[in-house]
Amino acid sequence: MNKSSADIRRAFQTFFAERGHEIVPSSSLVPANDPTLLFTNAGMVPFKDVFLGREHRPYQRAVSSQRCVRAGGKHNDLENVGFTARHHTFFEMLGNFSFGDYFKRDAIQYAWAFLTETLELPAERLWVTVYEEDDEAAAIWLDEVGVDPSRFSRIGAADNFWSMGDTGPCGPCSEIFYDHGPEVPGGPPGTPEEDGDRYVEIWNLVFMQYDRGANGALTPLPKPSIDTGMGLERIAAVVQGVTNNFDIDLFRNLVDAAARLAGTDDRQGSSLRVIADHIRACAFLVVDGVLPSNEGRGYVLRRIIRRAVRHGYKLGIEEPFFWKLVEPLIEEMGDAYPELPANRALVERVLSQEEVRFRETLEQGLRLLAEDLEHLSGDTVPGETVFKLYDTYGFPVDLTADVAREQGLHLDMAGFEEAMTSQRERARAASVFRAEYGGAADFGGTTIFSGYDVTEDAAQVIGLYRD
Ligand code: ATP
Ligand code: MG
Ligand code: MG
Ligand code: MG
Query: From the centroid of its chain, how far is CA 457?
Result: 25
Q: Give residue 1's pLDDT.
A: 52
* H or E element that contains 411: strand 410-411
| Neighbouring C-alpha atoms within 13 Å toward the C-beta of 285 | 30
CA-nearest residue for atom 21, ligand 1, is 231
3-class SS shares of the chain: helix, strand, coil, % to 5: 50, 15, 35
- How is 430-465 classified by DSSP, letter by letter? HHHHHHHH-SPPP-TTPPPPTTS-TTS-HHHHHHHH
3-state secondary structure of 303: helix
Q: Which residue has the higher pLDDT, 262 or 53?
A: 262
Residues that place a CB less than 5 A from ion ligand 3: 201
Spacing, Cα 171 to ligand 4 middle (Å): 13
292-319 confidence digits (pLDDT tens)? 999 999 999 999 999 999 999 999 999 9
Element (H, E) at 212: strand 199-212
- Provide the pLDDT confidence category of residue 68 given band limits of 50, 70 and 90: very high
Q: How far is CA 448 from the centre of its chain?
A: 31
Can you give the length of the chain in residues? 467
Q: What is the DSSP letter of 65?
A: E
Ligand 1: list residues with CB < 6 Å. 42, 70, 77, 86-88, 91, 93, 201-204, 229-231, 233-234
For ligand 1, atom 2, the nearest C-alpha belongs to 201
Ramachandran region of residue 394, left (φ > 0), alpha (ψ -120 to 50) or beta? Answer: left
Residue 294 DSSP label = S
Report residues near ion ligand 4: CB below 5 Å: 204
Q: Is the dihedral of CA 143, 147, 148, 151 positive or negative?
A: negative
Q: How far is the CA of 202 from the centre of ligand 3 (A)?
A: 9
CA dist list (Å): 325 to 29, 116, 223, 254, 312: 20, 36, 46, 7, 12
Per-residue pLDDT tens digits for 211-260 = 999 999 999 988 899 999 999 999 999 999 999 999 999 999 999 999 99
* CA–CA distance, 93 with 228 (Å, rounded to integer): 9
pLDDT digits (tens, 9 = 90+) for 13-42: 999 999 999 999 999 999 997 887 899 999
Across the chain, mean pLDDT equals 90
Residue owning the nearest CA to atom 9 of ligand 1: 204
How many Å lie between the centroid of ligand 3 and the Cα of residue 159?
6
Pocket test for ligand 1, best of 76, 89, 204 (most atoms within 8 A of CB): 204
| Spacing, Cα 131 to ligand 3 middle (Å) | 12
Distance from the alpha carbon of residue 157 to the mean position of ligand 4, in angstroms: 12
Diameter of the chain by CA atoms? Answer: 82
Which of 66-80, 287-301, 448-462 bottoms out in mean pLDDT, i.e. has the lowest?
448-462
Q: Classify 206 as helix, strand or coil.
A: strand
pLDDT in tens, 272-292: 999 999 999 999 999 999 999
Residue of higher predicted confidence among 354 and 424: 354
pLDDT digits (tens, 9 = 90+) for 318-335: 999 999 999 999 999 999
At 102 the pLDDT is 97
Q: Round to the nearest angstrom and report the end-to-end CA distance of the chain.
A: 40
The per-residue pLDDT for range 94-128, each reduced to its tens digit, is 999 999 999 999 999 999 999 999 999 999 999 99
Ramachandran angles phi, psi of 222, nearest 5°: -60, -35
pLDDT of residue 176: 98
Q: In this predicted complex, what is the ipTM?
A: 0.99
